[in-house]
Structure 1
Amino acid sequence: MSTRWTLRRQLTLLYAGPFLISGAVLLTVPLLGASQTVPAGTFPGNSEPHVTVETHSNAVPLAGVSLAVMAVVAVVLGWFIAGRFLRPIRRIVDTARDISATNLHRRLGPTARRDEFGELADTLDDLFARLEASFAAQRRFVANASHELRTPLTAQRALLQVTLADPEATSEELRAAADEVLALGESQARLIDSLLTLATGEQGVEHAAPLDLAEVVSRALAFRELDGPRLLPTLHDAPTTGDADLIESLVANLIDNAEKHNVAGGSVTVLTGMTDGRATLVVENTGPVVPPDELDRLFQPFQRMGGQRVRTTKDGYGLGLAIVRAIADAHRADLAATPREGGGLRVTVTFR
């Protein structure tokens, strides 16, 4: 059975080996040295100089004992130093083993170390946070999808059952029922697309790249015509880093929400620029008065003003601002919403 060479054993040998080699050299060199004396002249009949060698009979045993003591001390110190050095790794391993689908909230926590181990702990904490967000997004996605898809599916089944139960149904009635089923199917498809966008935004950014926020907004506005309110864009260069597709979805949802909750003859203002060296997007619309205590709830899925949950598809699914928050969080951007004086909402997204 092979012995497992742990990292601690390897580091012990790495620490003790050079120390022992240096000690052995320091103890061996004096033993190899000898004092040589050569007379000033030569003796008759003897052309070779006479050499006198001085040695100490007790030097070799003493050197051996010293080397043995040094070996023990080197191994013990090496084992202790390796253990101290690897203690953060052991903590990281134990915590990682404790991470599971039901315990994703645990973290390594801040460390006083400012070396590679500290960077590793911070990196793993960020990884654990992303995993927790991914699992939470998955659970919310399943819960929201199952809840919201139940209504159109029930409506489809009831519509088909009523139509088929009528033996005297005309072709026009059957065609009308089929048209309603198709409309419900399209509604389900839009809902699923919105839920997928929400889930993708909550999972985080995987492909961040340099981009200009003004160009992304310009693409989002290129083929958009508002039905009612006037669109007032003012786009200045705003370089940042992120996922262009997700940010474009954020812009589109902000504009859709601003158009949907507007008033006759109103407007939607879109601004991009730099604020304290950070790329900033502002979308502002005229509209009904928004109570300040309603702001946070409006960014939750399937919510609308008045404390009611969205249950119909007439005004959408209440996912627009939830998608905006998810994408902003994925980019670690600051999201702020403030009611406009006289009605409407001003949403500001500041990227890092």
Structure 2
Amino acid sequence: MFRALPKPRSLPNARLRPSRVRTRLTLLYGALFTLSGIVLLGILFLLVSQSPKSVFHEIKRGPGPAVTVDPGPGPASGPLTDLGKEMREQADRQRHAELRNLLVHSGIALAIMTLISLALGWLLANRVLRPLSTMNTTIQRISARNLHERLAAEGPPDEMKALSDTVDGLLERLETALAAHKRFVANAAHELRTPLTLEHALIEEMLIDREAGRDELRKTFQRVLEICQQQGRLLESLLTLTTGERGLDRREPLDLSELTGQVLDAARAELDVRGLSLATRIGPAPAAVLGDPALVERLIANLLDNATDYNVPGGSVEIECGVREGRAVVSVVNTGREVPAEQLERLFEPFHRLDRTAGRDGHHGLGLSIVRAIALAHDASLAVSARPGGGLSVQVSFPVPADPVPAEPGRQPERPALNRT
């Protein structure tokens, strides 16, 4: 039913292959070192070349003491002055030669250190990319059959550890989603197989019984039609559940109180037939919400439908809608059989029912699952509690937009039928 995730194919022209990333990091480290070395040598050469020159020059004459020559401020004349000029020129030539030697030797040293920095950069890049290579290998090994595996990186809380934890969280959510998907598909297949088997048995019985009369055939066809209608409602509920779990493609302003009133108007006849009392508390102020009007109306309808169908004779239903603490809230409270506390969360799982068999009561255990999916799609919080005397209390709290936009006048959302799932 589920195929393993395909292994990623190697792309010969991939721009982010590990070898290329390592080479780019190595070149980056080498370029930074070379640039900083050039700047350092430039500053040093500038400081040495701009150092102040002394007006005094010492002249060595053999092993004896040095003779200091000062040309003085007067006009240059005499043999001593010529000797001083010659010595200054020789000192300038020697100074330029030393600067040139300094520049050459510094360039050679910089070239040698550039090669050393490239080698060290290659090793450093390998050390930096080693955790990424390990995570990449582990992720490639993980498929739909071993989603329980985790990277579980160890070390200080740095960027690599944060990336590993993020991937582990993603794998955990993916594992949960796949498990829920498998369970949902298995339950849906079971729910659809039962009515199909019953249809097949009824039709086969009519084909075998050659003496069946018109009345018997009519009853059989009516039964098959009822089963087909149940399957249609089941498929419609599955589509609604899938839409809610997928998320919203668009959001538009709507009034939660107005939608609640519309659902109540459509359900009053059913409440009267069942002999249930209804108490409503809908605030006069609009409860502005951004979302899908059809899905929100389906949420309210499923809450009211669940409170109606799972009630007791002579019971009651209370529905309240308004704004509380800055959030738009709709709550439905009903009487009914006692619900164990450990079963509350499971009531919102698809196809979960309390001691009921699918097909016998026309329900498939999808009503509250759809409520939860639509609530999550609208960023709404869902709270459920069991009443002491029996029954449930379900409350859905929607976030109110900071700057609500009024709905278009005269526009009514498409109202879905009240499907009892």
Which range, TM-score by smaller chain? 0.7 to 0.9
- Following TM superposition, by how much is the alpha carbon of 1:6 offset from its aligned partner in structure 2, in angstroms? 1.7
Provide structure 1 residue ranges, at least 5 long, that are not aligned to the other structure.
none
Q: Does 1:205 align with 2:205?
A: no
Equivalent residue, structure 2, for 1:274: 324
- Following TM superposition, by how much is the alpha carbon of 1:260 offset from its aligned partner in structure 2, in angstroms? 0.9
- 1:221 is matched with which residue: 260, 263, 266? 263
Q: TM-score, normalised by structure 2?
A: 0.65
| 1:177 counterpart letter in structure 2 | T
**Could you say what secondary structure the match of 1:131 adopts?**
helix
- Following TM superposition, by how much is the alpha carbon of 1:271 offset from its aligned partner in structure 2, in angstroms? 2.9
| 1:9 counterpart letter in structure 2 | T
- Following TM superposition, by how much is the alpha carbon of 1:183 offset from its aligned partner in structure 2, in angstroms? 1.7
Q: Does 1:103 align with 2:146?
A: yes
- 2:121 is matched with which residue: 64, 75, 78? 78
Q: Does 1:165 align with 2:215?
A: no
- Following TM superposition, by how much is the alpha carbon of 1:142 offset from its aligned partner in structure 2, in angstroms? 2.0
- Following TM superposition, by how much is the alpha carbon of 1:67 offset from its aligned partner in structure 2, in angstroms? 1.0
The structure-2 alpha-carbon separation of the partners of 1:110 and 1:19, relative to structure 1 and needing over 3 Å to count, comes to: closer
Cα distance in 1 between the residues matched to 2:153 and 2:128: 18
8 Å contact from structure 1 (residues 210, 239) kept in 2? no
- 2:233 is matched with which residue: 183, 186, 190? 190
* Residue pairs, 1:1-352, within 5 angstroms: 6-27=20-41, 52-53=92-93, 54=95, 55-56=97-98, 59=102, 62-79=105-122, 81-83=124-126, 85-86=128-129, 89-90=132-133, 92-107=135-150, 113=157, 124-125=167-168, 127-201=170-244, 203-205=245-247, 207=249, 209=251, 214=256, 217-218=259-260, 221=263, 224-226=266-268, 227-228=270-271, 229=276, 230=278, 232-235=280-283, 246-263=295-312, 264=314, 266-275=316-325, 279-305=328-354, 308-328=355-375, 334-350=381-397
Q: TM-score, normalised by structure 1?
A: 0.76
The structure-2 alpha-carbon separation of the partners of 1:219 and 1:166, relative to structure 1 and needing over 3 Å to count, comes to: same
1:194-228 residue CA offsets vs partner (Å, 9 max, x unmatched) = 23434454x55364757667268548727632412
**Could you say what secondary structure the match of 1:349 adopts?**
strand
Cα distance in 2 between the residues matched to 1:339 and 1:60: 87
8 Å contact from structure 2 (residues 230, 362) kept in 1? no
The structure-2 alpha-carbon separation of the partners of 1:205 and 1:163, relative to structure 1 and needing over 3 Å to count, comes to: same
Cα distance in 2 between the residues matched to 1:314 and 1:123: 45
Q: Which has the higher contact order (CA 8 A, sep 6+)?
A: 2
Provide structure 2 residue ranges, at least 5 long, that are not aligned to the other structure.
1-11, 56-70, 79-85, 400-421
Cα distance in 1 between the residues matched to 2:257 and 2:149: 40
The structure-2 alpha-carbon separation of the partners of 1:251 and 1:74, relative to structure 1 and needing over 3 Å to count, comes to: farther
- Following TM superposition, by how much is the alpha carbon of 1:266 offset from its aligned partner in structure 2, in angstroms? 1.6
8 Å contact from structure 1 (residues 208, 241) kept in 2? no
| 1:221 counterpart letter in structure 2 | V
| 1:317 counterpart letter in structure 2 | H
Cα distance in 1 between the residues matched to 2:310 and 2:13: 72
The structure-2 alpha-carbon separation of the partners of 1:224 and 1:129, relative to structure 1 and needing over 3 Å to count, comes to: farther
1:46-97 residue CA offsets vs partner (Å, 9 max, x unmatched) = xxx9953222275356324421343144324534554555456445434432
- Following TM superposition, by how much is the alpha carbon of 1:187 offset from its aligned partner in structure 2, in angstroms? 0.9
Cα distance in 1 between the residues matched to 2:29 and 2:337: 73
Larger radius of gyration: 2
8 Å contact from structure 2 (residues 206, 212) kept in 1? yes
> How many residue pairs were aligned?
345
8 Å contact from structure 2 (residues 321, 331) kept in 1? yes
- Following TM superposition, by how much is the alpha carbon of 1:248 offset from its aligned partner in structure 2, in angstroms? 4.1
Cα distance in 2 between the residues matched to 1:2 and 1:180: 63
Cα distance in 1 between the residues matched to 2:29 and 2:292: 47
| 1:146 counterpart letter in structure 2 | A
Q: CA RMSD in A?
A: 4.3
